[in-house]
């Protein structure tokens, strides 16, 4: 069984370019979460999506950042006009449909390390 897959694993962009981060959840999982982690720091929640819906984007910066989880295909986190402060590790997690106890466990991908030059 494939776990959560993220690509690319490493992404280098120059200031002003766009970054697209992809996340393929565990097969059968319908919930996706995006987190950002700065070096030596904890996880910062960004956005929570279900198929075709954004459930909670309270952790997402209001400008330049957007996320989607289409009916078909991976979830995409898009950062427009990147700045050096966007350099971080971005993790995606997925969880199964909410059908009772124990369905909250989130399974994490290996992350995408974004470096903005």
Measured distance CA(111)–CA(35) in Å, rounded: 9
Q: How far apart are CA 30 and CA 97, in angstroms?
A: 6
For another protein, the closer of residues 48 and 65 by Cβ is 48
Residues in 21-40 at the binding interface with another protein, rule: CB under 8 A: 31, 33
Of 48, 49, 75, 82, the residue at the interface with another protein (CB under 8 A) is 48
35 to 26, 99, 100: CA distances (angstroms): 17, 24, 24
Query: Looking at 11, 29, 86, 111, which residue binds another protein (CB under 8 A)?
Result: 111
42 in contact with another protein (CB under 8 A): yes
Selected from 17, 30, 45, 115, the binder of another protein by CB under 8 A is 45
């Amino acid at each position: 069984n494939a776990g959560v897959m993220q690509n690319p694993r490493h992404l280098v962009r120059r200031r002003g370019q766009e970054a697209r981060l992809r996340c393929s959840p565990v097969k059968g999982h319908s919930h996706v979460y995006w987190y950002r982690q700065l070096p030596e720091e904890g996880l910062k929640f960004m956005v929570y999506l279900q198929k075709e819906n954004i459930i909670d984007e309270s952790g997402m910066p209001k400008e330049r950042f957007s996320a989607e989880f289409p009916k078909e295909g991976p979830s995409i986190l898009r950062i427009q006009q990147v700045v050096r402060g966007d350099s971080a590790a971005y993790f995606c997690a997925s969880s199964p449909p909410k059908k009772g106890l124990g369905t909250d466990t989130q399974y994490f991908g290996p992350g995408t390390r974004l470096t903005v030059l």
